[in-house]
Structure 1
């Protein structure tokens, strides 16, 4: 019997598909202290090293290691076969689409708005017009890829268009200029950012980011005070991962 077997039993017995454990919690599960180097080096908890007995336990239990945060002394695990049913994903997107459609209808029927104002607000929904121009003045490039050619960037709302008031929908500080694949990750809540620019990832997205050659441990630079206000909404209401 491996001394790490309690960790495998713990993960196997979980009903949920993702969990974040502190090093202290892992020690409590195992009943002994982790080696000192586990707190400063990724090797101990690296599931790619399949010969390590601790990794074998979570692999046999049907789990994969997710994000490791040595600063916070915690690690995420994701059930290897866990997938949100495509039907559920599709329904979630349809629900959001309907919410945005309802907001657009409200704008179209608002007698206090001019035709030009209505067009400007509706164009902002797809990252075009005044919003795109304003966002590009605040953000000159995609923070994750470094691409600065606007032909290849999408103006993405930090606080989703459907959740915004009309002023926020056009506010350049509520925008990021993102490469299309980065926009998808951010818009669907697979990634987010802390105010100081640290990248946060939701469990399950690391493999995709690796395939796209995106560094999951990255700081993209400080955001402005106004951007931070919008990012707080994104972290609390859009981001799928553990709230930073």
Structure 2
């Protein structure tokens, strides 16, 4: 098994072709969760995923799961939920709470990768205007949401949560609505899942993903102001 590079703080990442086949996409360990390191990583399609007390692990899996905003699939039942205006929406108002909700234990899950260090690092990215959240409410209670990193015309989705049926799906619909309106090109979903595939995500090779990123991260989206409509029905 090839030795995994251990990065010093501020050290650049190795080329993605050196990522391991198993575990799929593991590229390096170590480094730091500074804003500069995180933004540099995401621009190259690299993201951190680890469980303390292990060191930070950096990943770039192949293939890659992506969702193009204009290809989002809204089922009939989800469309009915949206038209009923079962939820209200907001963005970037409770970022840290959304992260903590995503970090909450789930059935069949042993611990969480969203550590205190991750919450602090991404909250700093939010303060700097790079990380964003979508909040979904029912009767003024936060019942769903998602968060991730926006760079140019790409949004790098990190996690979502749901405390009510269709709440996280509604958050994704709202995100796609925002990105589509601003001319953004893709949502990085990282690793394939049946849930995301049902919403329109698909896999592409790491090479194709990196080529798309090279044309996307330096875009200047128009009117991406992170403001959502008052009515969920307006998302359709």
TM-score with structure 1 setting the length: 0.27
TM-score with structure 2 setting the length: 0.28
User: Of the two structures, which has the highest relative contact order with CA contacts closer than 8 Å and spacing of 6 or more?
Assistant: 2
Larger Rg: 1
Compare the two structures and name the one with the higher helix fraction: 1
Compare the two structures and name the one with the higher strand fraction: 2
